Each structure stands twice: as C-alpha cells, then as structure tokens.
Amino acid sequence: MAVTSQLSNIVSSKLGTLQGELEARVQTEAFKLISKFSNQCPPTGELSSIIQTRNNLLTVVNNSQKITNKFSTLANSLKPLITVAKLILSLLKTNPIPVAIGIPPGPAGGLIFAKTTGSITSQADRLFKIIRLLESLENDIEGIEALTSSVAPSLNNVKNILETVNLSVEGCVNSLENQEDLANLLNQVRPLENTGSEGVPNNNFQYLGANGKAYTLAIIEDTNSETSAKRRVAVAKDNIGVIVLRGQPSFSSDTQVLLDELKFRIDNQLP
C-alpha cells in the first residue's frame, strides 16, 4: 500500500496548496477588482491597471487548470494498467497447478512431472502481489479523481468572478465619450504584437493537442461585437485552415491568456 499512500500524498499536497492559493489570494484579489466598480466606473487610467491585474490572476487560474488536468491525465493513464493486471490475474487463477509429493517413477521408469509445494508458494505470492497492485492502482485513481474534482469548483468560481470584472471593464469602456482616452487605453492593454494572423512564425501559435493533432492558433476580432470595446477571440485551425474551435471572446484578456485558455479547450473538447 506504500505506492498508494505516496502517490496520494503527492497529489493531495500539490492540489491542496493550489486550492488554498486560489481561495485565499486569487479569489480575494478578484473581489477587490469587482469592488472598484461598485459605485461608478474607475478613472480611465485605473482601468488599465485593473485589466493587467485581471490578466495576472487569470494566468494563475490557467496554470492551476494545467496542473489539475495533468493529474486527471495521470489517473486515466493508470486505467489501462489495471486492465492488464486484471488479465494477468485471471490467467494465473485459471492456470492449473498439478501437485505430486512422493510419487515414484512410472512403469516405464520415466518421471512424472509435478510442481512442488515451493512452486505453489511462488505462484500464490505472485497472485498476492498482483492483487495488491490492483488495489493500489484503483485506490490511486479514485483518490486522484476525487482530489481534482474538489479543485474544480474553486477554479470555476474564480473564473466567474474574473469574467464579471471583464464585463464591468467592457461596460466602462463603452461609456467612454472621449475617443482619445479610448485610443490610449487600447494602446496600453493591446500593444502591437504578433497575434498569429500576420503569418509571422511564432511557436506560441503552433500547438500539438493531447489528441495528437497539430493546430494553428490565431487571435482575431470578434465580428459579433458591435461596441467600441471590441472583443478578441482565440481560434484554432486544422491542417487545411478550417477553424475547428473558438475560445471565449474578451475585451480585457491579453494574447497569452486567450491562447492558454484555447489550448486548455483543445485538450478537453476536441477528440
């Protein structure tokens, strides 16, 4: 049972620390951002700082999702091992073990083949070890799945809070009457950069999904947005350039946040 205890302790320690960080710091900071919109829109200069803080918090959340996803993948990778172990166990259980103790040679002087009690002991020992292995693997899977599920509500809660901040920012930006203020804000939160739409090589926009398929990523403007606070959305294209997945449109999410969220969707939504 040492294998079970060790693996469970590692996962529990890592995810426990992660969940504590989410609830104690990230969630607290997210609520502070919401409070800035309680009475009126913050000054234009402060909106830029709010957007940057939101992106930093989203980066923490996305990294937490990656860690949680890795542990979920680990649990799934153990399942085939259990299937193999059960097959071996079944074969060993059905394998007959003839036993002969003190039987003299046959009439023709030949020896009768027989397994000794030592062979039986060895066979039983192997059966016992495989049974213990199965118990360990099954306990590991059950424990990891329970631990990753317990973190999901915290992740979703923080993401919902940060999405509320995003909508509040959009509302304030849409209410700006001074076009110069709007232009300055956009320049601060969306500096000129490679978005994958220019055809300029950048490894950030090439992604090999968990399904083994390669995708080309890009950041484009959301054509459904009809306000001054234009939203952007990350998209994934297959090998012939067809968009197979879109991320969540957002005004305030920076390029890296949009890409990270899309990569997570690729690994969890595309077959």
- Euclidean distance between CA atoms 110 and 138, whole angstroms: 48
Residues 146 and 211 in one domain: no
Please, which pLDDT band fits residue 198 given cuts at 50, 70 and 90?
A: low
Residues 142 and 19 in one domain: yes
- Euclidean distance between CA atoms 56 and 237, whole angstroms: 27
Backbone angles phi, psi at 158, to 5 degrees: -65, -40
Structural domain span for residue 159: 2-189
HSE at residue 236, side-chain half, CA atoms within 13 A, is 26
> Contact 33/50 with Cβ under 8 angstroms?
yes
Residues 180 and 203 in one domain: no
Which one of 133, 156, 189 terminates a domain?
Answer: 189
Residues 150 and 269 in one domain: no
Average pLDDT over residues 248-253: 90
> Contact 4/132 with Cβ under 8 angstroms?
no
Structurally, how many domains does the chain consist of? 2
Which one of 171, 189, 207 terminates a domain?
Answer: 189
- Bridge partners of residue 233, in order along the sequence: 220
Average pLDDT, the chain: 81
Provide the edge-to-edge strand list for the sheet that holds 243-246: 206-208, 214-221, 232-237, 243-246
Percent of the chain with pLDDT over 70: 82
Check pLDDT > 50 for residue 43.
Answer: yes
Say which residue, 116 or 260, is predicted with more confidence: 260
Q: What's the gap between Cα 247 and its chain centre?
A: 16
DSSP class of 99: B
**Amino acid identity for residue 102 in this structure:** G
Say which residue, 111 or 251, is predicted with more confidence: 251
Residues 121 and 252 in one domain: no
Structure tokens at 58: 């989203």
Say which residue, 243 or 188, is predicted with more confidence: 243
Check pLDDT > 90 for residue 29.
Answer: yes
